[in-house]
A and B are shown apart, each in its own frame.
Chain A
């Protein structure tokens, strides 16, 4: 091989994608960090320039620590994550174990469980809003068939919070089940055969073979579902609109409302986004570290 100069072709091939990333990820990301150091006028959707921009250093970040609105939204998001993530993991792994078996018709069941992952969160929100209605909702009708009182699912604070959690789990289970099935398929059957010959029962097989060998998949599901939970927003906009009151208003909604409905708070909203970003960054680093440990 002769010494070649730097090739041009690969740069041309990657250029369009890189250009879009630069213009629409790198620039806004830097803009976000920058704005978080300023106070700036309310964003107007029309072409009116923002009122005034003043450098305030870390003031926006200091404000965060004592802002009950932000802290409540943040706390709610964490609570939501702490409940949703373990539930998703348990439910989707259970369904993966149930639906990977070669029973007749199981493929159809698998497709039905996966189907919600194909639909927009907006549609899912509409469907469940229709189901959870107080007087005309089908769920309350089913409850009355079992002589249980109608529940104000989307009207009462606690029940609305629970509804958002349950619907989120319902919406994501199929996707994570498929990831788990992929992981389960990588475990050789011979391991289970050997265990059976040694007289291991189903539970021993699960805890001794399945769980340890599934660890990389479990980690992936853990991180992805945590990131998804932190970003919860779209589903909520149609299901509860953050209500009743602000019972189901999470981090992303708070940031959005801050920037678009309050004067002089673009920088403040940007500061919230930066905090949000660092949470995501930590999660990604954790995933990277853990998956590296796996491969060692």
Chain B
């Protein structure tokens, strides 16, 4: 490794040292063992507001606030005994005292050296007023933020409590409503069943000519009782599904007998000249599904087909087992579903524009969809206003046999 050029003019080096000392951005002050200032740079004078030469020979404590001077003198003695390169006042806030009496925050680094057995301590003084201001601002902002967080937390806690109370009240009301709907449905259904039975018997006992007016009124009673029963059943089902108070209980079902039974039950709803036709179109006829859900699904679809078809308009129900799935098709030639209403067709309580004058709850298709969801089934339909609708249902059967 080549040696550097050491032949530099000592006078030139002194000037370089002076320049370094004079141009430093921090205040530099050199004190002797007694604490007397022996040297300082212009920046130190600028920081503390003194003129050139004004500090030389004066005690370093001059640059400290009055309250720190006594302690500083003894600390300085301690430092002289065990001098070391370190930051001054670690963990404490240091302040400087200007000539005009104002105090400002400083950071001080200490170093020492010995010349001809004489100890000198050099302090590097940095004005940290701006940093302190920034820190104070940050503290204030943090405090403000914490205060806001506390306030919002308190508000949220208060809100949460209110929500909890409202939720409990809502639960109580919901339970009350459920009990009422359940009780009302059961309590209404029993007398309705009796009324229907009696109406059937009146019709039976007054058969023959001359009783047309009786039959007309009996039929009116039957129709209204069925409507009311259907409404009660819809509400009860909607309530049960909404509460999750429903479970699937699969059982083996002969789909043909199930559908014939349903058609026989629903025939009383049919309008004048309205024929109901049922066909099963596959060899397999047994499926394992929840009977109640299946009955509700088919009943709702056929009931809608009857309800929204005019007199003399046929309704067809078809079933088939296909690739492990039960397929159900319900076809009517009724009023159809307006195109604009079709997207909401399965929404609860939704009723299409063209059926508002026909009695209904708007729950039927919603319940069908919910039952099919529970059975893992799906539904789609095609409908042309004025020409009729076809609903297609597909439900996977767990297993089936011929």
- Chain B associates with chain A: no
Which B residues form the contact surface with A (CB < 8 A)? none
* Residues on A facing B (Cβ under 8 Å): none
